[in-house]
Copies of this chain bind each other. A is one copy, B any other.
Amino acid sequence: MDRTIDWLGGAVVLIDQTLLPQREEHLRVTDVPTLVDAIGRLAVRGAPALGVAGAFGVALAAQAHDPVAERAAFRAAVATVRSARPTAVNLARGVDLALAAADDGFDAVLAAACELRDDEIAASWSMGIRGADLVGALTGPAVTAVTAMTICNTGGLACVERGTALAVIQELHERGRLTEALPLETRPLLQGGRLTTWELARMGAPHRLLVDAAAAAVIARGMVDVVLVGADRIARDGATANKIGTFALSLAAAHARVPFLVVAPESTIDPDTATGAEITIEDRAPDEVIRVRDTPIAAPATEALNPAFDVTPPELITAIVTDRRVVRFDRGERLADVEVGERRTAGAPAPRG
C-alpha cells in the first residue's frame, strides 16, 4: 500500500508511524476506540492525514451504529474521534465533513470520507507544484538548485500521498533542482529523524539529518536557501501553529533573510481563529521529554514542560502556499483578504511530464 491511510474491506488501514523506520507495519482498524488510540499515540499524524482519519472514523462509527436509528450511540462514538487531538483543526473538520452525510447512512458517510481522501491527494500535488514554482521565483534564475531545510514530517506519511512542505521538496528533487534536504530530527517524537529521512531515502533525495538546535546556526552560516514547514492550524492573520521548533526556525530564517514558507492545504486555515493568540497550545506528557523512545535521558522523577506546538507570527513568514494559491506576505498580501471557504480542490492533479 502506497497510501498512508485508506479504507479497505470495512476497515481503516494505516501505516503505524510509531514503528518507522525500523518496521513498516499496517494497522487494520475496525472500531472507533482503536482508531482514537491510534490518533492519540500518533500512529497516524499530520494535519491532512488526521482529517482523513477523522472522516474514516465517522465511517467506522456509522458501520457500528446506524447514524439515524442509533443516533445517540453513533454521535457519542463520533465525539470521541473529534476530541482525540485538541490542536488539529483538520481532525475536527474531517469528522464534520463525513458527519454532514450521516442522515443518508453509512454509504454516504464512507463516500464523503473517500472524497476527502481523494481531495487531499490532489491538494498535495497542487502544493508541491506551486511551492516549487515559488522557490524558483524567490531564489531567482541564477540559483539552479537549492538546499531546503524542513521540520517534522510533512510528507506522504502526514497526508495520504506526497504531503505538504515535503511535497515541495519532492517536486524540487524531481525537477532536478534540489541540492540537498536538511531535515530536523524534531524532538520529542523525532518525526524528522524517523519519518522524513525514511521518505527522503525512498524518493532518492540527498539529505543530512540535523538536531533541532543546529538549525539556526546552519541557516546563519548561509547553508540554506529556503525553509519549508507545514501547519497544524493557520489563523486568519496568517499566524501559524505548527510543530514545536517552527517558531525558532522562523526567527533564524528572518535573521538570515532566508525565505520561510508555510505549506498547507487551505482547510488548515481556521476561519474562526482571528489571530495566533487564540490558538490553544497542546501541552503533552513529560514522559516524551525525559525519554527517547525507550531510552531514559534524565532521572525518572524529572519534571518537564512539553508544548507540542508553537505559533509563528505572520511577520516572520515569507509566504503561505496552499492547494489553491500562494499568499505572499513579503509583498504585503494578507490572508485576511483571501476568501477561504469550505470548498476544496476541484478536479484531478495536472498530468506530469
Q: What is A's interface to B at a CB cutoff of 8 Å?
A: 21-22, 151, 182, 184-188, 190, 193-194, 197-198, 201, 207-218, 220, 243-245, 247-248, 251-252, 255, 286, 289-290, 292-299, 301-307, 310-311
Beyond A208-B305, A293-B295, list 5 extra A-B contacts (CB 8 Å): A193-B298, A194-B298, A207-B302, A211-B289, A211-B306
Structural contact, A297 and B244, CB atoms closer than 8 A:
no
With known contacts A216-B310, A290-B209, A292-B292, A251–B255 Cβ distance under 8 A? yes
Structural contact, B251 and A194, CB atoms closer than 8 A:
no
- Taking CB atoms, residues of chain B closer than 8 Å to A307 are 214, 217-218
- Taking CB atoms, residues of chain B closer than 8 Å to A190 are 297
- Taking CB atoms, residues of chain B closer than 8 Å to A297 are 185, 190, 193-194, 292-293
Structural contact, A304 and B248, CB atoms closer than 8 A:
no
Cβ-closest chain B residue relative to A192: B298
Distance from A312 Cβ to chain B, minimum over Cβ atoms (Å): 9
Structural contact, A210 and B252, CB atoms closer than 8 A:
no
Cα–Cα, bound, A216→B255 (Å): 14
Cβ-closest chain B residue relative to A245: B213
Distance from A219 Cβ to chain B, minimum over Cβ atoms (Å): 9
- Taking CB atoms, residues of chain B closer than 8 Å to A304 are 208-210
Q: List 13 A-B contacts (CB under 8 A).
A: A22-B296, A186-B213, A193-B298, A193-B302, A198-B299, A207-B303, A210-B289, A211-B244, A213-B243, A215-B248, A216-B245, A220-B310, A292-B293
Cα–Cα, bound, A211→B248 (Å): 12
Cα–Cα, bound, A186→B212 (Å): 9
Main SS at interface, chain A: mixed
- Taking CB atoms, residues of chain B closer than 8 Å to A299 are 21, 197-198, 201
Cβ-closest chain B residue relative to A196: B298
Cα–Cα, bound, A208→B210 (Å): 24
What 5 A-B pairs have minimum CB-CB distances, sorted nearest first?
Answer: A213-B245, A217-B310, A216-B248, A212-B213, A187-B211
Cα–Cα, bound, A71→B201 (Å): 53
- Taking CB atoms, residues of chain B closer than 8 Å to A290 are 193, 209
Cα–Cα, bound, A340→B209 (Å): 40
- Taking CB atoms, residues of chain B closer than 8 Å to A210 are 289, 304-306
- Taking CB atoms, residues of chain B closer than 8 Å to A311 are 217
Structural contact, A201 and B305, CB atoms closer than 8 A:
no
Structural contact, B244 and A252, CB atoms closer than 8 A:
no
Cα–Cα, bound, A22→B86 (Å): 35
Structural contact, A248 and B252, CB atoms closer than 8 A:
yes
